[in-house]
Copies of this chain bind each other. A is one copy, B any other.
Amino acid sequence: MVSAPVDKTTKKHIDADTRRRMLVAAALRVMKREGIAAATTRAICAEAGMPHGAFHYCFRSKQELYAALLATDINITLDVEWPAVDPRAEPVENLRTLLRSWWSAVETDPEAQLVLSELVNLALRDPELGELPAWGHRTYLDKAVSRVDHFAAEARLHLTIDTRAFAEMVVAALGGVIDSWLSHRDATTAVETLDGFAGLFATLTRPVPDDRDHPPG
């Protein structure tokens, strides 16, 4: 029989799996603060409040930590509160709102973007981790597609091109702006460029005819 759960903050023995999660979280914190290079096994354990030996009890190697890190929710850009979309507003306006909502996530946590970039670069060089960036990008794009779909429905817009192709361009535009911004750190320019893209993307949409005035049959 399993006894009553012991207070997790007090008990000495911690399940190896939860400890793994703690280490991953700690690693992400260190990387955001000081960069991926500073995230040594020791620094990560210190951040997690564990002795150094704990690391290789949880992970076979450091690569395994990288893999775990890449496999978790790194791409947080698209996970934001859904913006206020008004079906009666101009398409441009709604698109601008959408892009800006995603941009706000970037500006709120710029270090996350940097870490993501560092992590992807690392993985692209490591044969063991080489597949992960492709998988991550696919996941990210899928999420973008579903978000765009949802948006189009809510704004009552019809996309004149394939949704995936549309999302692909949106992702590229957002990614490009982020990339530039990480270097120049000029938020004004970034948002202006993003607004410019909103205008361009609007040319790929058409308002859905309102059926309430023209019921079928």
Which of A's residues lie within 8 Å of B, judged by CB?
Answer: 34-35, 37, 114, 117-118, 120-122, 124-125, 133-134, 136-138, 161, 165, 168-169, 171-177, 179-180, 182-185, 189, 192-193, 196-197, 200-201, 203-204
Contact = CB atoms under 8 A, between A and B. Distances in A.
B118 A121 contact: yes
Given A168-B180, A172-B180, 14 more contacts: A34-B125, A114-B124, A120-B183, A121-B121, A138-B184, A165-B193, A168-B196, A169-B197, A171-B180, A172-B179, A175-B175, A200-B200, A200-B201, A203-B203
Given A165-B192, A185-B134, A35 B125 contact: yes
21 contacts: A34-B125, A120-B182, A124-B183, A133-B182, A133-B184, A134-B184, A134-B185, A137-B180, A161-B196, A168-B189, A169-B173, A169-B200, A171-B176, A172-B173, A173-B173, A175-B175, A176-B176, A176-B179, A179-B179, A200-B200, A200-B204
A125 B175 contact: no
Contact of A176 (B35, B175, B196, B204): B175
Contacts of A120: 182-183
Contacts of A114: 121, 124-125
Contacts of A161: 196
